[in-house]
Structure 1
Amino acid sequence: MEIYSTTLWHLQKDVALSVLSKDLTDMDKNSPEAWCAAGNCFSLQREHDIAVKFFQRAIQVDPNYAYAYTRMSLS
């Protein structure tokens, strides 16, 4: 899922990324993938401070989720 959300980020598909983010967080708020998709969504909207908070939340949910560390450093 993180690859798909990053692909949407690169393609600048903000609506699709927003829908994906909402669907993932609605399904499971304890999923690091959901929080990273939300972070990607805010990063695309140039809301980098908020994006970092979502990536930090993904790390709180799963401290071993390397993708969140990578995205946080790029935001």
Structure 2
Amino acid sequence: MIAHHFVTDEIPRQCVTPGDYIIHDGDICIASVNNIRKRRLYIRCSDSASKYITDHMVKVIINKDGLPVREKPWWQ
């Protein structure tokens, strides 16, 4: 049996791209829009409510290659 282990890393909010999996308040969320002008990162969480983050550093889930884990785009 193969177990998948993911690591987290904190990166600046401005570097998060839409589709990245992030951890916010203990929940796994997906980044949707990064509005740099308003200094907000909009996220979708499991409770299907849209929220936004104004923190400077965001905890992102990293895969085995050292890149953020991303949601698969709808066209693939």
TM-score of the pair, normalised by structure 1? 0.24
Higher RCO, 1 or 2 (CA under 8 Å, sep at least 6)? 2
Greater radius of gyration (CA): 2
Structure having the higher strand fraction is: 2
